[in-house]
Amino acid sequence: MSGRSPSSTRDRRPAARRSGTTATRVAFGAGGVLLVVVVWELYKAIGPATGVVIGDLTVLPRTTDLAMPHVWDMVGRLFEQTGNGRNAQPVWLAVTQAALFTLGVAAVGWVVGVVVGLLLAVLMQRFRTAESAVLPWIVLSQTVPLIAIAPLVRRWGAQLEFGDFTWESWMSVAIIASYLAFFPVSIGALRGLNSPDAIHVELFRSYGAGWWRTLLTLRLPASVPYLLPALRLAAANAVIGTVVAEVSIGLRGGIGRMIIEFAQQASGDPAKTWAPIFGAIAVGLVAAGVIALLGVLLRRFRRGEVPA
């Protein structure tokens, strides 16, 4: 006789959340940030001014105000003016504007990357030969340094011309961001599209459902648990890609350019350098938050999801 328990399938429910209530989790998050601040200030207080050097190698940085400004100086600098000129405005406002600009470009890059990544995954799922032909190129594409493709994209874009449409620099940046963003999406989506069990695929075959119906009703919903981490990675990549490409292409208005500009003033105004870095972090957090929201909206498709 079978000794299997009747409740064996019932016990497969998602495990209870590891970290208790929302309040506890928020407290832990805030504690983590506080810890970084404390460690920073502690080292600055007790560390040697010349830094810790072993042989010729600097292991820990100098603790001068130039190298390591106080945390309160960095924060305080946000609420002062950018400079003495006519265009002076509070640093936080300038950083926010730049961050929003960067976020917008990154979002465009993310959307383009997600669409391209999904299309590639569907193509590879549909045709085995496409998978063997395209997948190595997708992997290879990510080994090309960003710095190398930035000028190429700009040059190609500048040659584009139809009707009233003119290629603008921000589009080049968005394309580079999408170049980084499509990769995790295509890989994750391919795994997700192939994730349904044989029994599900055969069930759809027994219903006489064609490839297209099977894709929409079975494969796409089944790929959501694989797709969400891929979308999160893509968002992070799109933000990094945008910031770096802004520098490579020389696009004004975003965080990338601002980091370079403020860094050039670091010798006289070290705390100011950190303002756009905080901006970049904020952009990353907003991007991650949007994906988390997406995960909540799609939670129906994550039932029985095994924590990775």
Partner 1 sequence: MSEASATAAVQVTAAVQVTGVDKVFTAKRKPSVTALDSIDLTVAPGEFVSLIGPSGCGKSTLLRLIADLDTPSAGTLTVFGKTARQARIDQEYGIAFQQSGLLPWRTVAANIELPLELHGVNAAGRRKRSAELLALVGLGDFAESYPDQLSGGMQQRVAIARALAESPRLLLMDEPFGALDEMTRERMQTELVRITGETGAAVVFVTHSIPEAVFLSNRVVVMSPRPGRIRDILGITLPGTADRDEHLREDEAFFENVSRVRELLHGEAPVGIKGVENR
Contact positions vs partner 1 (CB under 8 A): 1-2, 4-10, 12-14, 197, 199-200, 202-209, 213, 217-218, 221-222, 224, 300-304
Per DSSP, the three-state class of 60 is strand
Per DSSP, the three-state class of 53 is strand
Give the sign of the dihedral formed by CA 28, CA 33, CA 36, CA 42.
Answer: negative
| Residue number with CB closer to partner 1 (1 or 16) | 1
Question: CB of residue 219 vs partner 1: minimum separation in angstroms?
Answer: 11
Question: CB of residue 6 vs partner 1: minimum separation in angstroms?
Answer: 5
| Residue number with CB closer to partner 1 (7 or 159) | 7
How many Å apart are CA 79 and CA 77, to the nearest integer?
A: 5
How many Å apart are CA 154 and CA 168, to the nearest integer?
A: 9
How many Å apart are CA 255 and CA 275, to the nearest integer?
A: 10
CA dihedral 113, 155, 157, 132 (to 10 degrees): -40
Question: CB of residue 19 vs partner 1: minimum separation in angstroms?
Answer: 22
How many Å apart are CA 211 and CA 202, to the nearest integer?
A: 12
| Residue number with CB closer to partner 1 (88 or 216) | 216
Contact present, 119 and 127 (Cβ < 8 Å): no
Question: CB of residue 211 vs partner 1: minimum separation in angstroms?
Answer: 13
| Residue number with CB closer to partner 1 (213 or 252) | 213
Question: CB of residue 16 vs partner 1: minimum separation in angstroms?
Answer: 14
Question: CB of residue 220 vs partner 1: minimum separation in angstroms?
Answer: 11
DSSP states along 98-154: HHHHHHHHHHHHHHHHHHHHHHHHHHHHH-HHHHHHHHHHHHHHTTS-HHHHHHHHH
Return the amino acid letter for 241: G
| Residue number with CB closer to partner 1 (31 or 208) | 208
Question: CB of residue 73 vs partner 1: minimum separation in angstroms?
Answer: 51
Dmax (CA) for the chain in angstroms is 88
Structure tokens at 171: 């589009």
| Residue number with CB closer to partner 1 (100 or 298) | 298
| Residue number with CB closer to partner 1 (18 or 300) | 300
Residues belonging to the chain = 308
